[in-house]
Amino acid sequence: MPTVSPIKDFLAGGFGGMCLVAAGHPLDTIKVRLQTQPLPAPGQKPLYAGTWDCALKTIRNEGFFGLYKGMAAPLVGVTPMFAVCFLGFGIGKKLQQTTPDQQLTAVQLFNAGMLSGVFTTAIMTPGERIKCLLQVQAASSGPKLYKGPIDVVKVLYREGGIRSIYKGTCATLLRDVPASGMYFMSYEWLKRSMAPAGKEGELSPIRTVVAGGIAGMLNWLVAIGPDVLKSRLQTGE
């Protein structure tokens, strides 16, 4: 197993965070709007029938870039957040290694991943709060309360101080700690399983993407329940 370098993990995580936001924000916008849409009145249809309906209505009403509403907050927040996430994972691995080249067990990788989830909460919680409020506001026909991410911070701080900005911290921890453990454990295991014998560090880019994609799906299997609670809590009054 290669020697753990928390600094390299930090830099790699920052770049990975930017790529994640660029690729995933439209899907995140759809997810948040589906999670927070109001219950329909008796006899009426819901605002969105499903994923595709939400995507089509968003593009029709707001243009393609409506899917990117609220992107500034996660772009600013997710880049350092992922850097801190991978730093936390690197530290978690290092704390459990007795020798620099020790290969960690699945449980140890899960523990290191959970530590990374704790590390990211301080950045993730306000970023998610801002993002969700802007995404839900863009889909609403009511008055616009926020002009942008900075205005969200100003309004939240004026109305409730720092506690309002960090609303949903416990729900974020409930989502990210076990989900991060699942992600890193499955990702590292898949990389080992897919690499040629004796050449763990030489995984091809395609196999790396496949490993990351499967790990991401397993991450969301764990995270989706707490994420619904978090989104509703952070966008509620």
C-beta neighbour count of 90 within 10 angstroms: 22
Q: Where are the domains of the chain?
A: 6-235
Cα separation of 21 and 73, whole Å?
10
Q: Looking at the predicted structure, is the pLDDT value of residue 1 above 60?
A: no
Question: Looking at the predicted structure, is the pLDDT value of residue 73 above 60?
Answer: yes
pLDDT band at 47 (very low <50, low <70, confident <90, very high): confident
Mean pLDDT over 120-149 rounds to 85
Mind listing the pLDDT tens digit for each residue in 3-45?
Answer: 556 677 677 767 777 787 888 889 888 988 898 888 888 888 8
Confidence label for 171 from pLDDT (cuts 50, 70 and 90)? very high
Q: Is the pLDDT of residue 135 over 90?
A: no
Residue burial 180-189, b: 16+ Cβ < 10 Å; e: rest:
bbbbbbbbbb
Query: Does residue 2 have a pLDDT over 60?
Result: no
Average pLDDT estimate for 124-134: 89
pLDDT in tens, 81-111: 777 888 899 899 999 998 888 889 999 999 9
pTM across the whole model: 0.73
* Integer Cα distance of 136 and 142 in angstroms: 11
Closest CA to 187 of 116, 109, 128, 93: 109
Average pLDDT across the chain, whole number: 87
Please give the average per-residue pLDDT across 164-172, as a whole number: 95
CATH superfamily of 6-235: Mitochondrial carrier domain (1.50.40.10)
Separation CA 132–CA 149 (nearest Å): 11
- Condensed to tens digits (0 to 9), the pLDDT of residues 140-161 reads 767 788 888 899 999 999 999 9
With helix as H, strand as E and coil as C, how does the chain read?
CCCCCHHHHHHHHHHHHHHHHHHHHHHHHHHHHHHHCCCCCCCCCCCCCCHHHHHHHHHHHHCHHHHHCCCHHHHHHHHHHHHHHHHHHHHHHHHHCCCCCCCCCHHHHHHHHHHHHHHHHHHHHHHHHHHHHHHHHHHCCCCCCCCCHHHHHHHHHHHHHHHHHCCCHHHHHHHHHHHHHHHHHHHHHHHHHHCCCCCHHHCCHHHHHHHHHHHHHHHHHHHHHHHHHHHHHHHCC
Q: What percent of the chain has pLDDT over 90?
A: 45
Residue with more model confidence, 124 or 108: 108
Yes or no: say if 212 and 146 are a contact pair by the CB < 8 Å rule. no
